[in-house]
Structure 1
Amino acid sequence: MDVMEKQHGGYDKVGCVSRDLYNFIAEYKKQRIEGFDAQYMLNYMAAQEERDSEFFYRYSTDSEGHLQNLFWSDAQWRLDYDAFGGVVVFDSTYRVNKYNLPFVPFIGLNHHRSTVVFGVGIVSDETVASYKWLLHSFLEAMHQNHPRSVITDGDHAMVRAILQVWPNTDHRLCSWHIEQNMVRYLRNPKLSDFRKLNYRAFEVDEFERGWLQFNKHYGITEKDTWICRMYELRKKWSTAYTKGRYFLGMRSNQRSESLNSTLHVQLDRRMRLIDLLQHHEHCISVMRRNEAAMDVVASQTVPFTELTADPLEKNVSYIYTPIMFEKVKGEIVRLSKWQVEEVNKEDSLTRFAVVHKERRQARFDVRCVYVGSVIASVHCQCRKMESEDIPCTHIFAILKCVGLDTIPSCCVAKRWTMKAKPAFDSDRSASTQQWSERMDRFHELRNDASVAFFKASKSAVQSERVMAFLNSIIDEGENDENTNIASFGPLPAYFSGARQTFTTKVS
């Protein structure tokens, strides 16, 4: 409306009001997709797949041809999963469409610790069968690369589906949803005591003793079904059981909640599927633009450090993205409170006892494995490196003890650096568009090559010629010292259907 006002010289010159424009667009959309919402959705998916063969989607229908379940993931999402898919967060509590279908985004953390999307699903119901279909579709899109960990809202059907489809994935329940149930089922002082069992970093035996005392004090019986069920699931929510496990410091699905709150703007429950899709893509576009802006800052600036800062702090400022630098810096700042009290050497293994200067009972064992004079691996008893992919203050204490001013490579997780996306790294030393231009060239080459490969495969002679030509390019790249071999992540898939028109009738 603002553009029309400027073009016509004022609001009174346009000839309509904002509501008229809204009604016109709404009626236009209605005429286009009325009665064909699911069909239009799948036509859109087929068009995306034809444009980009790395775009992935799957759907299922019932016996009458009605759309039941849908999952899709574009090329960038699949590359992002290759780089950041260690922990996946998702829930199905979000419903903003006229059909009241659960909208299930698969969420993670990128190298700036911001929300990144791996895929999106829409299911017809919250049954084990629907969730199993969704999880299988997700794995198919990600080349059967299972996530290490997953955080969910605790839906019973979802828990069972994860156990069957992702049996080796570490599963924890969202603390935010647990908190909502705690407030629903418990009252003080029972609520306060249960929170202690949830959030305090007890040892496992301490938690078990505390649980027995809790049951005895409040007379918990089998009739208290929610509390009994929570005890059965204690390994999926209690800090005593989840500490040290790989969840990148996340307790809840706040990443999904954050995306949902963004999606909620200008959405309502009368919205059709295609409207939801279009608005969702707009939100994703904004997220990617924000990530690109953070990439520019991270690649062309170095976080500020004081002249008197610890040499280790100055070193990590060149390694991590700005957000993660602040987290690692916090561990270095706490160095002053810890000291190495004991060192034991056994061949290539060295054990360090790191003790708090004021609370002597606070003691952590750190083990270092050396290859020659180089530290090859470090393990601390607190397991922060294993659970959050950043070195703890106890590890930094032993680095200071052995006289290192630089952090060893074994302590740097690539996912928190600007090299997290190896296939198309964000090297913007000259142009802020360098990354996207390289991706465009890759897409153009890939699409043309797919057609050529398909034709060449009909002839053994042609196939050999093409293979020889490709090998010559690969060999040339290997002989170039300035060429970095890329780890590409998800690459062209499902070409056989990429250029076909979607013809199946779905309602």
Structure 2
Amino acid sequence: MRTLYGGFDKVGATKTDFKNFKRDLNRYISELDVDMMIKWLLRKKNYMPNFSMEYITTEDGILRALFWADEDAKRKLSMFGDVVSFDATYQRNKYKMMFVPFTGVDNHNRNVTLGAAIIGNETAETYSWLLKVFREAFGRAPPVIVTDQDLAMKKAIEDTWTESRHKLCMWHIMDKLTVKSIYQIRDTWISAYYREKYMFGLMRTSSRSESENHFFRQFCNPECALVKFLGHFDSSIEAQRHEHKKNDHDTRNTNVDIWAVDFVLEDQAASIYTRTIFFDVQLEIQNGLHRCAIGKWEKMSDYLKFFVKDWDQPCTTFFEVMMREDEMTVYCTCKRFTQFGLLCSHVFCVLRMLDVREFPQLYILRHWTREAVPNSACGAILGMNERDNRYNEVNHIVREITYSTESVINKLVTNFDALCSFRDHVVNFFQTADEAVVNAPRKSRRERFAEITGNTQPSIVTVRVLVGTGYKGMGKPKRMKSKREIAISQNTFYSGLHSHLIKL
């Protein structure tokens, strides 16, 4: 607040005021916590297009498991859902329930959240229910699912997602390598067993799981009420999606250095892939030109077979690259494309020798391209459904406005006067649009609490959590006394004390 308003003296409240506000908010939430969260998500389901939310309770109305995913998550899964990480290792909340995110990798090689759940136990029955509602929400199960080593989860996947291949996460395996039983299940975690599957680098290193844990640990802690957790989750996902848009912006509006000027495929790759992925491809191109050499090649019926020496991998004699020039199909025994969806240095070495002038279209996976996800997030902000007649037309106009605005800013950033003029034009238009909004009267504190928690209408609690799990600082879930009641209580206390002293 100090940063927002420009100084402590301008905030208009003290630390004590903020602490009291938090105390009163916790008292307001009290035992209505989980019911508020359920109703918040149900309202999203009723009013937001393509929002999914399901939950189950015990016979006593205690929450057992909850799952939710919005339209943007479904759009991302349709493009980035070939490999999904399902991690149930995060901290439990104050009710001993566990937060479970579903994670993929976007076209910038960054983590992207594809859905989320909260579960009360880690039984095969709970996991089976969760996987079932996931399939119903997204319409399919991912080809590869990456999890930690949990027998209940393993059974649930085998029973529910029969078509999915289960892989164990290296991040969780590394601490258990000394256990001999780990070797017996090596086909579930050693990367060599997955060379025929697109993994998109999801579990190539342990740092990806570590970064995801750090991201969610910021708002998933034992002291957080569910309704406040949901607010933090929404803010964090909004930040994640903003970062994705920023990466899109950087890809469109920044230039890269082309190292091999005489190799046209590198320049084409720069216009095909996002910046992050291009740098990876560029490195493979450079290695193909300077660190690889063709030992020999031979004609094999309808294809050419090349033997490529890679000086960065001296332990391997030669990599074999098979290619059909008429169809422009290529295959390398290193299987880098098969596993990560990107061509290897050995293939680029062959393409350079054959003087190929056009990037092979068969080996451009949309997953890594600039336009992997259509810029249609604005459609959701406008409240339009993809089934609306003018959805595509409106989305196209929104994209044009977005791109044009970014382009104008980039062109005027060095011309301060022109930039200020453009700013004034935008601000004036914003003020014109803002005049149509009627200012509502100032809200009471209780109304503000209702707005923060999403519990705008009082109702009977229908979903509960286990009692007796309060945390320090939450305050007691009882009715707040008025100042008059407190004064009467104090007068009664002092009167009784005075009478007792007289008797003594």
Give me the TM-score of the superposition, normalised by structure 2.
0.72
Structure 1 stretch displaced more, 131-140 or 165-174: 165-174
Q: Does 1:93 align with 2:48?
A: no
Q: Report the equivalent of 1:205.
A: none
Q: Report the equivalent of 1:429.
A: none
Superposed displacement of residue 282, structure 1: 1.0
Structure 1 residues 51, 179: CA separation in 2 closer, same or farther (over 3 Å shift)? same
Superposed displacement of residue 103, structure 1: 0.8
Q: Does 1:337 align with 2:332?
A: no
Structure 1 residues 299, 235: CA separation in 2 closer, same or farther (over 3 Å shift)? same
Whole-angstrom distance in 2 between the partners of 1:357 and 1:263: 41
The structure 1 segments of at least 4 consecutive aligned residues displaced by more than 6 Å after TM superposition are none
Larger radius of gyration: 2
| Conservation of the 8 A alpha-carbon contact between 1:94 and 1:102 | yes
**What secondary structure sits across from 1:385 in the alignment?**
helix
Q: Report the equivalent of 1:154.
A: 149
Whole-angstrom distance in 2 between the partners of 1:265 and 1:437: 27
Q: Does 1:312 align with 2:276?
A: no
Q: Report the equivalent of 1:2.
A: 2
**What secondary structure sits across from 2:271 in the alignment?**
coil
Superposed displacement of residue 62, structure 1: 1.0
What are the within-5 Å matches in structure 2 for residues 27-46 of structure 1? 27-31=24-28, 33-46=29-42
**What secondary structure sits across from 1:396 in the alignment?**
helix
**Please, which of 160, 165, 169 is the counterpart of residue 160 of structure 2?**
165
Whole-angstrom distance in 1 between the partners of 2:206 and 2:99: 14
The CA RMSD over aligned residues, in Å, is 3.0
**Please, which of 184, 190, 210 is the counterpart of residue 232 of structure 1?**
184
Superposed displacement of residue 397, structure 1: 1.6
Structure 2 letter corresponding to 1:362: T
Structure 1 residues 331, 65: CA separation in 2 closer, same or farther (over 3 Å shift)? same
Whole-angstrom distance in 2 between the partners of 1:4 and 1:111: 34
Q: Report the equivalent of 1:350.
A: 304
Structure 1 stretch displaced more, 16-25 or 105-114: 16-25
Whole-angstrom distance in 1 between the partners of 2:123 and 2:281: 42
Q: Report the equivalent of 2:338.
A: 386
**What secondary structure sits across from 2:243 in the alignment?**
helix
Whole-angstrom distance in 1 between the partners of 2:161 and 2:380: 32
Structure 1 letter corresponding to 2:253: Q
| Conservation of the 8 A alpha-carbon contact between 1:89 and 1:253 | no
**Please, which of 165, 176, 179 is the counterpart of residue 181 of structure 1?**
176
Whole-angstrom distance in 1 between the partners of 2:184 and 2:58: 36
Q: Report the equivalent of 2:253.
A: 300
Whole-angstrom distance in 2 between the partners of 1:439 and 1:82: 16
Q: Report the equivalent of 1:220.
A: none
Whole-angstrom distance in 2 between the partners of 1:35 and 1:92: 26
Whole-angstrom distance in 2 between the partners of 1:305 and 1:71: 46
**Please, which of 221, 230, 235 is the counterpart of residue 277 of structure 1?**
230
Superposed displacement of residue 438, structure 1: 4.5
What are the within-5 Å matches in structure 2 for residues 177-216 of structure 1? 177-182=172-177, 186=178
Superposed displacement of residue 368, structure 1: 2.4
Q: Report the equivalent of 1:365.
A: 320
Superposed displacement of residue 439, structure 1: 4.6
Q: Does 1:395 align with 2:336?
A: no
Superposed displacement of residue 361, structure 1: 5.2
Whole-angstrom distance in 2 between the partners of 1:379 and 1:4: 56
| Conservation of the 8 A alpha-carbon contact between 1:90 and 1:256 | no
Q: Report the equivalent of 1:498.
A: none
Superposed displacement of residue 337, structure 1: 2.4
| Conservation of the 8 A alpha-carbon contact between 1:98 and 1:271 | yes
Superposed displacement of residue 309, structure 1: 6.0
Structure 1 residues 180, 161: CA separation in 2 closer, same or farther (over 3 Å shift)? same
Superposed displacement of residue 155, structure 1: 1.4
Q: Report the equivalent of 1:326.
A: 279
**What secondary structure sits across from 2:166 in the alignment?**
strand
Q: Report the equivalent of 1:20.
A: 17
Whole-angstrom distance in 1 between the partners of 2:173 and 2:8: 56
| Number of aligned positions between the proteins | 397
Whole-angstrom distance in 2 between the partners of 1:90 and 1:44: 24
What whole-Å deviation, never above 9, does each CA across 1:47-100 have from its counterpart, x for those lacking one? 111221311011111111111000000110000000101111121111241012
Whole-angstrom distance in 2 between the partners of 1:352 and 1:4: 63
Structure 2 letter corresponding to 1:260: N
Whole-angstrom distance in 1 between the partners of 2:227 and 2:10: 33
Whole-angstrom distance in 2 between the partners of 1:403 and 1:124: 60
| Conservation of the 8 A alpha-carbon contact between 2:260 and 2:286 | no
| Conservation of the 8 A alpha-carbon contact between 2:260 and 2:266 | no
Whole-angstrom distance in 2 between the partners of 1:65 and 1:416: 45
What whole-Å deviation, never above 9, does each CA across 1:465-492 have from its counterpart, x for those lacking one? xxxxx7xx99x99xxxxxxxxxxxxxxx
Whole-angstrom distance in 2 between the partners of 1:283 and 1:438: 21
What whole-Å deviation, never above 9, does each CA across 1:183-236 have from its counterpart, x for those lacking one? xxx4xxxxxxxxxxxxxxxxxxxxxxxxxxxxxxxxxxxxxxx31x21221101
Superposed displacement of residue 350, structure 1: 3.1
Structure 1 residues 360, 37: CA separation in 2 closer, same or farther (over 3 Å shift)? closer
Structure 1 residues 175, 8: CA separation in 2 closer, same or farther (over 3 Å shift)? closer
**What secondary structure sits across from 1:367 in the alignment?**
strand
Structure 1 residues 100, 353: CA separation in 2 closer, same or farther (over 3 Å shift)? same
What whole-Å deviation, never above 9, does each CA across 1:304-331 have from its counterpart, x for those lacking one? 2247463322221111101001111111
Structure 1 residues 351, 6: CA separation in 2 closer, same or farther (over 3 Å shift)? closer
Structure 2 letter corresponding to 1:139: R
Whole-angstrom distance in 1 between the partners of 2:122 and 2:88: 8
**Please, which of 110, 113, 116 is the counterpart of residue 114 of structure 1?**
110
Whole-angstrom distance in 1 between the partners of 2:187 and 2:204: 13
Q: Report the equivalent of 2:415.
A: none
Structure 1 residues 386, 70: CA separation in 2 closer, same or farther (over 3 Å shift)? same
Superposed displacement of residue 148, structure 1: 1.9
Q: Report the equivalent of 2:69.
A: 73
Superposed displacement of residue 150, structure 1: 1.9
